Amino acid sequence: MDRCIVLVVIGSVLLGLPTVLGQLKKCTSREKCTAIGDCPAFEKYIGTPYSTWPEKVLNEARTMYCGSEQRGSNKIHQVCCSTSEGFADHSTSKVKKGRDLLDLRECGKQSKPRIANGKVAEVFEFPWMALLRGFDGTFHCGGSLIAERYVLTAAHCGFIQVWSVRLGETDLSQDVDCNQYPGEEEDCADPPQDIPVDKFLRRKYSASQKKNDIALVRLKYAAQLSDSVRPICLPLPEIAVKSLPRKMTVSGWGYTELANKISDQLRYAHIPIVGLTECNQTLRRLNTVWSVDQSQVCAGADDDKADNCHGDSGGPLQYFGRTGFVIYGIVSYGVASCGTEAEPGIYTKVSHYLDWIIDNLI
């Protein structure tokens, strides 16, 4: 059965959609009036009655409603669904402005660099970590702050229709995060910042091939930078290192496609980089349908299988560069298999998309 048809049984009355042309939304040049069941913003709710949808989701559908189409005997509701591949035009001035938004002197630095031996992160240790909140008010993905108004994440995280981003978080079970060291005063972070999302930009993401799994989130307003909120460095030539470390660091709370959350506390792990040839051999041996290419990074599959658990979908794979931490990859897929047979995690290679990222910082 067409996945859109299941949405018709409740009808326009319950959904409260406009019934006269004057109330319909006129889609912008970056939107297309499409069946609600084909719009990624509502992917999670397809196949369920409108009566079970959260009120926020229904309100969004109402504001996006642009008409309906007849499919046989069924009336299919349509919404203005984003088709944008970019925020900006591709003029030289936009590219230069993009670089100007990056804090190359302070990015990737820890205000109080205490690298613990354990795998629970200290407050202030990863100040660029972000959490993406969906329609239902819960966190579904991670991300990395790269500029005051921009968070880098995975494209597949957009299917939960990101509403806001949390910055400056370490322990979800605490209202205020603090470090307490013997003989020292308690050192506390500012309260986390929850900032609404302005735009969610993908770059020609292929869900079936797991390619181009990268997205840029623009916040409605700039984050307030502090010891607990600070951007990570992009792999620009003046910051990245030529000889990459054998192991890199993944950090997060464990939000993945198959694991709702592993820990209230931000955790991290050091995992080895795996060559593409070896990675593809492993993926074939495990009978997966995907392969990796130069736009991706393979990491993990170490003796400590639990290492693969600590990242979030959309979260960073990072290393310490010339002056601070540099984001090397974005958690894409594979990490959901943690604790089972050693399987490498697949990450989107950030340097492959560097021009696209900078071009869309406006």
For the chain, give every domain's residue range: 31-82, 100-359
Active-site option among 68, 156, 171, 310: 156
Active-site option among 171, 177, 213, 307: 213
Residue 261 pLDDT? 60
Fold of 100-359: Thrombin, subunit H (2.40.10)
Residue 306 pLDDT? 44
Ramachandran region, residue 67 (left: φ > 0; alpha: ψ -120 to 50; beta: rest): left
Residue 152 pLDDT? 98
C-alpha torsion angle, residues 87, 29, 213, 169 (rounded to 10) = 50
Residue 280 pLDDT? 92
Q: pLDDT under 70 in the chain at which residues?
A: 1-23, 30, 43-50, 71-74, 83-97, 111-118, 256-262, 301-311, 335-342
How far is it, in rounded angstroms, from Cα 227 to Cα 124? 6
Q: Calculate ∠ Cα 35-36-42, nearest 5°.
A: 145
Residue 162 pLDDT? 82
C-beta pairs of 115-119 under 8 Å, 24+ apart in sequence? 119/267, 119/268, 119/269, 119/310
Whole-model pTM: value is: 0.71
Tokens of 26: 């006129």
Residue 45 pLDDT? 63
Residue 22 pLDDT? 41
DSSP letters for 125-144:
SSTTEEEEE-TTSSEEEEEE
Return the SS3 of 321.
coil
Q: How far is CA 158 from CA 36, 74, 84, 136, in A?
A: 15, 28, 13, 14
Positive/negative CA dihedral, 80, 43, 336, 344 = negative
Name the one residue in this structure whose structure tokens are 């009336």.
75
Known catalytic membership, residue 140: no
Known catalytic membership, residue 352: no
Residue 94 pLDDT? 39
> Are the CB atoms for 144 and 151 separated by under 8 Å?
yes
Known catalytic membership, residue 313: yes
Active-site option among 68, 313, 332, 351: 313
